[in-house]
Amino acid sequence: MMRSVCLAALVGLGGCVIDSDVGELDLDLSKRRLVVDTADWELTDDGAIPAVDCTDQPKVCNNQVAMWCGADELCEATCGGETCEVNVLVALWDTVNLAQEKTDLSQLEGEPLVSVTIDRVTFAVSENTLSVPSPALTVSVAPAGVMSVAGGGAEVVGTIPALEAGETVADAAIELNANGQTVLARRMLEYQTPFNLVLGTTVQLRAGDPVPSGRLVTDIKVKAHANTGL
């Protein structure tokens, strides 16, 4: 039985021939639902971000960030020239454990997959009550335990584009990076090692900007298959 992993095929270099007898296995991921909810940010009840002069005292922004954002682990304030601005970190994740989720993998008895092919990566937005446009959202994969797109070992797969306030999406392809399929396939190839699917961005709020409210519910789907060598 053939067990060599075609790394050349994964990175698009060609030159690797797989036996026609190699078995194919559905490796589609179940829908991963991630919710951007402004309630988690505990923003001020003021209608707009207040203008705080920081021209002569840049550190005043850090001292007052709690006035604008109660979730201090998500927020930081900096002096944006003359007035303070608040940056809110959006970091959402879901753990993928293929060995548990895809019971057909048990037939391999711990043996490696020959290769993984990513057929399609899509997203849908079923609910969008955000009062402001949403920025583009970065989609990454990372080791289990890494929960932000900037965390150690995180690799970008692609981007969910910016959306207007209230805009929903029935089904659309994620804008993949040039090596996005390779990055995701490499994680899924190691099917016995759980990994995180991470969604992230930074929301920048400047003086006078309306305080965001509402939430955005997005579902990410991955259609993939594997060659098992069986």
Q: Over the stretch 104-154, which tens digit does the pLDDT of each residue have?
A: 999 899 999 999 999 999 999 999 999 999 999 999 999 999 999 999 999
The answer to whether 202 and 76 have CB atoms below 8 angstroms apart is no
For the chain, residues with pLDDT lower than 70 are 1-22
Q: What global pTM score does this model have?
A: 0.86
Give the pLDDT of residue 223: 97
Domain ranges of the chain: 22-38+89-202+209-227
CA distance 201 to 144: 19
Give the pLDDT of residue 2: 36
Of 197, 227, 194, nearest in space to 113 by CA:
227
- For the chain, the residue count is 230
